[in-house]
Amino acid sequence: MVITIDGPAGAGKSTVARAVADRLGYMYVDTGLMYRELTAVAMERGVDPGDGDALAALVGEAPAGPVDLRSEAVSARVSAVSRHPQVRQRMRARQRERALVRDAVLEGRDTGSRVCPDAEVKVYLTASLEARAARRAVDLGLATDEVGRTIAARDRGDAEQLAPAPDAHVIDTSGLTVAEAVDAVVRLVEAAA
């Protein structure tokens, strides 16, 4: 079975997707990390984030040196890198390949709509900007309003990519604990099985 979990930055996707995959013994595929890797490779090689063809040619390559893929430097550039259609086409093909190997939880922005439109269970996780900023601020040890501005900027940068599938189950995690959100997704999987 394929489960997709899409949503905006800070909605709890990674935490929930990883926990669901652990609970069910499924493979976890973090598609955002793949775009972050590409961004890091482009930064290392000095490739212009506006050059879609050059970026698409780098899909699948790994950064040569140690790099923090969740750093602000990568986060600030990843939207520009991931918006090119030729990049997305190659990424989606790789993501699809990984999902077809075995039962998987795919996490991202367009996994239920574009990567695996036939997925058996599709979830769209969302939360208020305030809740998302507060969570990221705790993770990063930064001020909430500063993180809020970064997340709002990424929402704008990702707007085109963020494509909830029409048949996705929407879960607002603003008032939920991680355990409650994970339980909600697992219940959907059990109902589909």
Sign of CA dihedral 119, 27, 21, 153: negative
- Which of 48-56, 104-112, 144-152, 183-191 is the region at the interface with ligand DC (rule: CB under 6 A)? 104-112
32 binds ligand DC (CB under 6 A): yes
For residues 152 to 171, the per-residue mask of contacts with ligand DC, x marking binding by CB under 6 A and - elsewhere, is --x---x--x----------
Beta strands per DSSP E along the chain: 2-6, 27-30, 104-108, 121-126, 169-172
35 binds ligand DC (CB under 6 A): yes
Angle at 149 between CA 43 and CA 174, to 5 degrees: 110
4 binds ligand DC (CB under 6 A): no
Q: Are 50 and 80 in contact (CB under 8 A)?
A: yes
Binding residues among 44-103 for ligand DC as defined by CB under 6 A: 78-79, 82
What does the binding site for ligand DC look like in residue numbers (CB under 6 A)?
9, 31-33, 35-36, 78-79, 82, 108-111, 154, 158, 161
